Each structure stands twice: as C-alpha cells, then as structure tokens.
C-alpha cells in the first residue's frame, strides 16, 4: 500500500508472451501498482466487462494471435466506461509510434524497451498517489 492508504492505480497488461507478461506484472507490483494481466485481447475484454475497478492504464501489445492490438482498441472504445482510459501500445513493430500518433489517449513504446523508460512512461500516464 502506498503512504496514506490511497488506492493503488490498476494497470491491465495485455501481452501474449508469457515471460514478458509475468515479469512485467511483478515489476509493476513492486512499483506499487496493482497489475492485472491477460494473454490476449478477448480475455482482456471479458475481464473489462466484469471488473469492479476499471484500470487506470492499459498496456497493449500490438501483435497478438486471435485479436490484434488495434482490434482490441476499437472494441475497448465502444464501451463508454473505457472511452478515455489511457492506452500504452507496446510493440516490436517499428512503426508503433506512427500508429499511435493522432489517436486520442494512446501512447507508444517500442520493444525492446528499457524498463526504467517504461516505468517513467507509465508514471506519467498513471501517476501514483504520494
């Protein structure tokens, strides 16, 4: 728990690579976030339908089986609850920044990323109560 017992921000990680998914969850938990992980867009959508606390940030891999990151994003925005939830695209796609440009509430980070850089970006998009 952060100082003062303020609620910890929740981050939803959507990532098909198991190693990245599990280590990222751990890293973000260590940093004081609540991290929830889904292996693909469908699982993430069903989580979002029923979750009690809406995530404060969604980290989204662009290239995933069954449903691409951009398809997930389109679905996500249909739900009014998630119309402005910040989304951080994380992808090995060299054009990920171009893809994010111009889309509201979407930022991008290229894989492989420096973890310190990732945490700085996450911190900006989803400030922790201090």
Partner 1 sequence: MRRATTPDLEEEPRSREARVRRLAQAFVTDEAMAALRHDLLSHLTGIGTVTYLLRKHVDDGELPATEPVKPPRERRGGDLLRMIKEQVTAATSKLQRRMIGAPDRAVSEAPLAACAARARASLLNAEGVVVTLTGDDDGARMGGRLPLIAAANDVEVEIAMGCLLENAIEAVSSEHGDCEASPGSSKRDVRVTLERVTSAGDEPEVAFVVEDGGAGFDEGASARAFDAFYTTKKGHLGLGLTVARRIAQRWGGSVVIEGGGPGAHRVALRLPALPPSRRSLP
Residues in contact with partner 1, counted by CB under 8 A, come to a total of 21
Q: How far is the CB of 26 from partner 1 (least distance, A)?
A: 6
Question: Is there binding between residue 23 and partner 1 (CB under 8 A)?
Answer: yes
Q: Is 64 exposed, middle or buried (0-12, 13-18, 19+ CB in 10 A)?
A: buried
Sign of CA dihedral 65, 76, 12, 120: positive
Binding characters for partner 1, 75-94, by CB under 8 A (x = yes): -----------------xxx
**CA separation (Å) from 55 to 15, 93, 104?**
16, 25, 17
Interface region with partner 1, contact rule CB under 8 A, candidates 4-12, 15-23, 71-79, 98-106: 15-23
Of these, 6, 51, 63, 129, which contacts partner 1 (CB under 8 A)? Answer: 63
């Amino acid at each position: 728990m952060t100082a003062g017992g303020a609620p910890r921000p929740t981050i939803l990680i959507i990532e098909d690579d198991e190693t990245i998914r599990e280590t990222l969850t751990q890293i973000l938990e260590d940093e004081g976030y609540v991290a929830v992980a889904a292996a693909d867009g469908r699982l993430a959508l069903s989580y979002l339908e029923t979750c009690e606390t809406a995530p404060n940030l969604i980290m989204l891999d662009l290239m995933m089986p069954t449903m691409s990151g951009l398809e997930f994003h389109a679905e996500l925005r249909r739900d009014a609850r998630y119309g402005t939830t910040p989304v951080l695209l994380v992808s090995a796609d060299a054009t990920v920044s171009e893809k994010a440009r111009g889309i509201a509430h979407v930022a991008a980070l290229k894989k492989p990323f420096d973890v310190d850089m990732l945490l700085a970006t996450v911190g900006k998009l989803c400030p922790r109560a201090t």
